[in-house]
Amino acid sequence: MTIGTAVKMSRMRMRMSWVGIGCVGLGLGALQMGVAQQAPQPAAATVVSQPWRNAALDPDTRADLMVKAMTLEEKIQLVHGSGWGVLRPGAVVPAGDNGGAGFVPGIPRLGLPDINMADSAVGIRMAARESRYATLLPSVIGMASSWDPAMGHLYGAVIGRELRDEGYNMSIGGGVDLIREPRNGRNFEYASEDPVLSGTMVGELAMGVQSQEVMGDIKHYVMNDQETGRNTLNAVLNERAMQETDLLGFQIAIGMAKPAGVMCSYNRVNGDYACENKYTLTDVLKDQWGYKGFVLSDWDGTHSTVKAVLAGEDMEQPGDKYFGAPLQAAVIAGTVPVARLDDMVHRIVRSMFATGVVDHPPVRRVVDPFEGRDDARKIEEEGLVLLKNEGGVLPLASGSARTIAVIGGRADFGVLSGGGSAQVDAPGGRPGGSEWGVPVYFPSSPLRYLREQAGSDAAVSFDAGTDVAEAAKAAAKAQVAVVFVTQWMSEGMDRMTLSLPDNQDALVEAVAKANPNTVVVLETGGPVSMPWSAQVKGIVEAWYPGIGGGEAIANVLFGRVNASGKLPVTFAANDAQLPHPKVTGLTPETGNNGMDAGAHHGKEAENFTVDYNVEGMLVGYKWFEVKDRTPLFPFGFGLSYTSFAYSGLKVAEGAESVSFTVKNTGARAGDEIAEVYVTLPKSAGEPFRKLAGFARVSLAAGASETVTVPISPLYLKVFSTQKSGWERVGGAYSIEVGGSSAELPLKAEVSLAAE
């Protein structure tokens, strides 16, 4: 057989198998008619074609065509998962399930692939299964500290790339809940307390995922702002405040990325569960924002059949308790219209076409760990935040006669990662995943890189920090002490306080007393209090640094990379400064794992309310401004090894953009993050600054640049509950620009008409 004939034969086989596949769906009669070529043929029944295969058609048309060809059973099959799979010992793992958190079998006769979903908040979970590898990225909050949309995109692209390599076609990461509660155990999966920063950075992340032809996701929709009591709590917040805070973050991210999925959360929102909340799912997400993808429930977050479906949930995960047989029965009984089921299926299928997972399914290959590590390191380098640098204690000098005492945080071994479903399995970790509730350190040793950069003549000692007196002794012997402190956070828990756990405040205090040149490196999942901040010379927030973290930390401490990150959250001085001095429902009795705090107290679950009207719109820095409280470190704050000056603010017609000049006034190259805030006219009833735009600028020593920052018209508006939409009030708008929410040297006032 020549090559030509072989190709022709295989094409024929393909065509024949298409005919075969197509005929199965049309039934045996059609098959027989197809074979008996002479028989008179009613066109529709005999022309075996799959017009949705035509990639030139738009995703909605393709989905419509495919949905028309589906049986009721096939439609039902697509709107729920197939059980807990690998997540629960003993649960069935269906054929084709790639070992991630979610699996929806496809419909081979129509050419629709399976959906294999993997948790991938900060890298892929369940990679250890079958000895696969996944890159641990820095925490999302660390990525957001870069204020660099390109880093958000890269972050998502790493996740998408590795999902493909591992045979997954959907990410279920993309956390965009606001950091309204700074002690929330999942803050490391989220970006910021500000909706514009959160939405923009996580929107880029989801775009990055989808750039790899993998379905993206945004979660947990919505008001899932604490873990304590998350399965039962009722988050209460008035409509305007919700629209302008938590919903706005989602609106921005979803508008940018058009993600395949939006995951509805466990909690209730103003009475109804988030997964059966018509207001948030249909009125806002689908009608106001025009979202075309599908709403999938958080795992076991579905609570009903008819109510959930009619409210707007499109897919139950991970099982079929409500969207399997009960939904089929409801459709047959007419309590759920066929049109609604078709809409659910359409949304799933159109997302598969739109993202490319049908036309370009993932092809497994070995993940490149080095590329992943370099990407992770780059993101971390931009996201590290230098919070204090008294007397130029940093950058550290290398060379002879240097003595550095490195203390604590397991810095000899590696870096801390966050827990829960965002846990990336450590290289060589337990097959099937890491153990829930057990902190995992990744082998990227800051000590190793600090030693490397200090040079062979320097003496860099290590003390574990477990004995405070010993640590102080070690610190006293060195010129500089670098103390690593950690705060482990995880899904399913909140922290009782902002204080560092495990006596680490005492450790820092003792070291600072022993050594006047003490630098603290924080590996935390969110803001913490620092009662010792005045006693140390340097403070660096590294968040959970990711697999390139050890090197990134050393690069910034030694100044190979200039510090440039800025805080995406306010660091309160103590818990008493917060709108909720205690996490609602979390008490020493309910324990740290306060998942069902309401039930724990023997109360009706319905009674467990978190009253977000206490702060309403005043999330994070807005609260501190209005209440006139001075935080430890303000939102948007971060130092550099160089300095910057701002000048020449100009506001374009209609405040569509602002431009200004940033000059690097120091002796080193560096990046500055310029922040633009607006304060609305008095009549808006919002007496606080809000972030309206930002830009990251790279400047050589002495260089300056004129920067133009666009301002989205939406960010100048307020939500009108009467109009169920956004409006601009007429009056004087003040626009301020600078390098921190607390230091805004440029100011202009413009008058804008109502709109």
Tell me the residue type at 421: S
742, 750, 724: which is closest to 688 by C-alpha? Answer: 742
Taking the least distance from each CB to ligand BGC, the nearer of 194 and 491 is: 491
Q: Rule CB under 6 A: is residue 227 a binding residue for ligand BGC?
A: no
Q: What is the DSSP letter of 420?
A: G
Q: Rule CB under 6 A: is residue 298 a binding residue for ligand BGC?
A: yes
Encoded one letter per residue, x for contact with ligand BGC by CB under 6 A and - for no contact, window 124-163 reads ----------------------------------------
The least distance separating ligand BGC from the CB of residue 446, rounded to whole angstroms, comes to 29
Encoded one letter per residue, x for contact with ligand BGC by CB under 6 A and - for no contact, window 454-493 reads -------------------------------------x--
Q: Rule CB under 6 A: is residue 172 a binding residue for ligand BGC?
A: yes
Using CB under 6 A as the binding criterion, the count of chain residues that bind ligand BGC stands at 8
- The H-or-E segment that residue 735 falls in is strand 731-738
639, 635, 498, 644: which is closest to 567 by C-alpha? Answer: 635
Place of tokens 């996701």: 217
Asked whether the beta carbons of 385 and 567 are under 8 A apart, the reply is: yes
The string of DSSP letters for 331-397 reads HHHTSS-HHHHHHHHHHHHHHHHHHTTTTS--------HHHHHHHHHHHHHHH-EEEEEGGG--SPP
- Pair of tokens at residue 378: 């780059």
588, 623, 598, 423: which is closest to 497 by C-alpha? Answer: 588
What 3-state DSSP class applies to 442?
strand
Taking the least distance from each CB to ligand BGC, the nearer of 190 and 484 is: 190
298 is catalytic: yes
The least distance separating ligand BGC from the CB of residue 183, rounded to whole angstroms, comes to 17
The least distance separating ligand BGC from the CB of residue 258, rounded to whole angstroms, comes to 20
The least distance separating ligand BGC from the CB of residue 422, rounded to whole angstroms, comes to 7
What 3-state DSSP class applies to 398?
coil
The least distance separating ligand BGC from the CB of residue 123, rounded to whole angstroms, comes to 14
The least distance separating ligand BGC from the CB of residue 186, rounded to whole angstroms, comes to 8
Q: Rule CB under 6 A: is residue 226 a binding residue for ligand BGC?
A: no
Q: Rule CB under 6 A: is residue 119 a binding residue for ligand BGC?
A: yes
Among 23, 26, 101, 416, binds ligand BGC (CB under 6 A): 101
Asked whether the beta carbons of 330 and 316 are under 8 A apart, the reply is: no
Taking the least distance from each CB to ligand BGC, the nearer of 172 and 450 is: 172
Q: Rule CB under 6 A: is residue 539 a binding residue for ligand BGC?
A: no
Residues 412-441 that bind ligand BGC (CB under 6 A): 421
Q: Rule CB under 6 A: is residue 299 a binding residue for ligand BGC?
A: yes
The string of DSSP letters for 51-119 reads GGG-TTS-HHHHHHHHHHT--HHHHHHHTB----GGGSTT----TT--SSSEEE--BGGGTBPPEEEE-
Rounded CA gap, 468 and 478, in Å?
16
Q: Rule CB under 6 A: is residue 190 a binding residue for ligand BGC?
A: no
326, 269, 273, 278: which is closest to 300 by C-alpha? Answer: 273
Give the contacts of 158 (CB within 8 A, at least 6 positions apart): 123, 135, 137, 208, 372, 375, 376
The least distance separating ligand BGC from the CB of residue 242, rounded to whole angstroms, comes to 20
**Any idea which residues carry the catalytic annotation?**
298
Q: Which residues bind ligand BGC (CB under 6 A)?
A: 101, 119, 172, 219, 298-299, 421, 491
